[in-house]
Amino acid sequence: MIVNYLVFALGLKATLYISVAILGVCYGVHFSVMVSTSSELFGLKQFGKIYNFILLANPLGALVFSSLAGYVYDHEAAKQHSVAAVAGSDHVMVCYGPSCFRLTFFVLSGMACLGTFLSVILTVRIRPVYQTLYGGGPSSQPRSSAH
């Protein structure tokens, strides 16, 4: 996703369709892995509450980042036109080119970097648990207490 957002920031027409397809696959993998990851990390007792809390990140992110995208677009449009819009006038500023959303995609890429970093930290923290459960290697079965 990080590289994909950086490709979006470049604004190349030739990469648009493939980048959208890759981003769709990334989101599909994310939402399908989220169920098993949350159930393994937090258990099934409060799974519904925890899963809904995790799902809440999607609309909150859409709210925050769409506001950011609107602000960046308006700022870039004002820079391109360099004419201050008079309050109450019908003048609509339109932004042209990849600079309209470049900063937004850089911020999204940075947030994806932060998410990747936090995922690595989580992986390191839970590794001892999985080594205890599956100590013999990837093909071994979970150890049971019945032995």
pLDDT digits (tens, 9 = 90+) for 49-86: 999 998 998 899 999 999 999 999 999 998 888 755 54
Average pLDDT of span 78-102: 75
Is the confidence at residue 117, as pLDDT, over 90?
Answer: yes
Domain count, the chain: 1
Largest CA distance in the chain: 80
In a domain, 90, yes or no: yes
pTM beyond cutoff 0.75: yes
In a domain, 147, yes or no: no
- Tokens 């013999």 map to which residue? 136
Contacts of 47 (CB under 8 A, 6+ apart): 38, 39
CB 47 within 8 Å of CB 27: no
Is the confidence at residue 123, as pLDDT, over 70?
Answer: yes
In a domain, 70, yes or no: yes
Average pLDDT of span 120-136: 85
In a domain, 141, yes or no: no
Average pLDDT of span 86-101: 75
In a domain, 61, yes or no: yes
In a domain, 26, yes or no: yes
Is the confidence at residue 36, as pLDDT, over 60?
Answer: yes
Residue 107's domain spans which residues? 2-133
In a domain, 66, yes or no: yes
Is the confidence at residue 18, as pLDDT, over 90?
Answer: yes
Amino acid at site 103: L
SS3 for 42-68 is HCCCCHHHHHHHHHCHHHHHHHHHHHH
Average pLDDT of span 108-132: 91
Say which residue, 53 or 139, is predicted with more confidence.
53
In a domain, 129, yes or no: yes
